[in-house]
């Protein structure tokens, strides 16, 4: 049962027609803050995320309850004229439509933005694709991994003597979805002044590119090309993973002058903070490798908990490299409710990450887990479209829903 919606977007209705991650994570973010998100799925198998995910339990995807949380599921075959009519009627009362089909798909279905605006001038259309809605690559199929490569992230990720690596989550898709959710909220804010909606055009490669800091001017202005550097950022030191006596690794970030001074005092070598080799940010960058060796020799003397206690007390940023097991056992995660637990009808207590960011007056919340396919057909089609049981039965018989 879906709890009562609250939050800053509780007066917003979103129709989500996307699949996998790039569109649906956008819908998840909006739903987390109270938007009514009606997810339109193919009546056959639904969103592939229902089956996808690295780990399943009792045949159930553990990814689906997370990315579809707080949403309502209806089914409609958008490849049919009747399914397209259903989407038009849903859009008529919506604030936002989220889709991540290949460019031109909505247009072929008679659902271009111009046509949708005739139905609902205030509609915000969020379009997430690999390359954007225009340009020479627009028609290409695009997945998050390709966007990560073209946006510059893959070239910079991994060890320098090995092929490009990847982050262990679909970061390109998630970045694009996050920018899309931001774009949707900004477009709704603009609508308050203009009365009209607009298109939010998010390209995955551009979302990744937006995170690349000074990558472009470094090349064009200084002729410097960033390369893979493993666990460090070049010339940012000390900031690395360091070994401990019990076989663990901890991350220490002490590249700022004042913090490095505190680290040196803790190590019993205060002169390092004022000497020529490590006394300035640039000097530490020049001598990064040998500085890391000095710090590693010190951290190896202690178990991880002991050295972390010393670092925290001294005001030096440091922490373990956490796994999921560490997260669920951590008292700080618990105190801030960073992990929330809901009851799944088949899997029992189901843990997942909570809503980010926190709002003091109108916080978001996780109200429900991902719904069953078409779970809300009767509710949404009855309340929003006025369809009765006879109509629903005809649609089912015709494989429309």
259, 281 contact by CB (below 8 A):
no
36, 27 contact by CB (below 8 A):
no
For 69, 188, 349, the CA distances from 342, given in Å and listed in that order, are 10, 31, 6
288, 220 contact by CB (below 8 A):
no
Pairing of strands 124-129, 96-99: parallel
How many other C-beta atoms are found inside a 10 Å radius of the C-beta of residue 11?
Answer: 12
Residue 24 phi, psi (nearest 5): -60, -30
Residue found under tokens 């991650």: 21
Cis peptide before 238 (omega within 30 of 0): yes
77, 53 contact by CB (below 8 A):
no
Closest CA to 293 of 318, 267, 322, 315: 267
Closest CA to 130 of 96, 100, 164: 100
28: tokens are 């998840």
Element (H, E) at 258: helix 257-267
How far apart CA 18 and CA 181 sit, in angstroms, is 13
Strand, coil or helix: 34: coil
From 173, 201, 282, 303, active-site residue: 173
Residue found under tokens 């203009």: 194
User: Which neighbouring-strand residues pair with 203?
Assistant: 129
* 173 tagged catalytic: yes
**Which are the catalytic amino acids?**
173
């Amino acid at each position: 049962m879906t709890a009562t919606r609250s939050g800053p977007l509780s007066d917003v209705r979103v129709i989500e027609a996307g699949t996998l991650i790039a569109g649906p994570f956008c819908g998840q973010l909006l739903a987390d803050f109270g938007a009514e998100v009606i997810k339109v799925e193919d009546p056959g198998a639904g969103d592939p995320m229902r089956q996808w995910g690295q780990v399943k339990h009792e045949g159930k995807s553990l990814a689906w309850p997370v990315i579809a949380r707080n949403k309502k599921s209806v089914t409609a075959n958008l490849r049919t004229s009747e399914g397209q009519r259903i989407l038009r009627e849903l859009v008529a009362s919506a604030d936002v439509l989220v889709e991540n089909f290949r460019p031109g798909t909505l247009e072929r279905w008679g659902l271009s933005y111009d046509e949708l605006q005739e139905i609902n001038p205030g509609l915000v259309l969020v379009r997430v694709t690999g390359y954007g809605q225009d340009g020479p690559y627009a028609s290409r199929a695009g997945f998050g991994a390709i966007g990560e490569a073209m946006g510059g992230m893959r070239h910079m990720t991994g060890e320098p003597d090995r092929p490009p690596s990847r982050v262990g989550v679909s970061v390109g898709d998630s970045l694009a979805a996050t920018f899309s959710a931001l774009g949707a909220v900004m477009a709704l804010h603009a609508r308050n002044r203009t009365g009209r909606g607009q298109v939010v055009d998010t390209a995955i490669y551009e979302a990744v590119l937006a995170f690349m800091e000074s990558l472009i001017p470094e090349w064009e202005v200084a002729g410097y090309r960033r390369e893979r550097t493993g666990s460090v950022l070049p010339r940012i030191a000390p900031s690395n993973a360091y070994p401990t006596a019990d076989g663990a690794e901890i991350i220490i970030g002490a590249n700022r002058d004042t913090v490095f001074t505190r680290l040196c005092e803790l190590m019993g070598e205060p002169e390092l903070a004022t000497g020529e080799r490590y006394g300035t940010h640039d000097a530490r960058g020049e001598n990064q490798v040998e500085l890391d060796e000095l710090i590693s020799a010190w951290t190896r003397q202690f178990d991880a908990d002991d050295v972390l206690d010393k670092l925290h007390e001294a005001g030096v940023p440091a922490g373990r490299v956490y796994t999921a097991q560490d997260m669920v056992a951590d008292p700080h995660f618990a105190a801030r409710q960073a992990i929330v637990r809901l009851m799944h009808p088949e899997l029992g207590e189901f843990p997942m990450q909570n809503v980010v960011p926190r709002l003091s007056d109108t916080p978001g919340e996780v109200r429900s887990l991902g719904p069953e396919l078409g779970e809300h057909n009767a509710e949404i089609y009855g309340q929003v479209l006025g369809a009765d049981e006879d109509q629903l039965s005809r649609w089912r018989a015709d494989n429309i829903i």
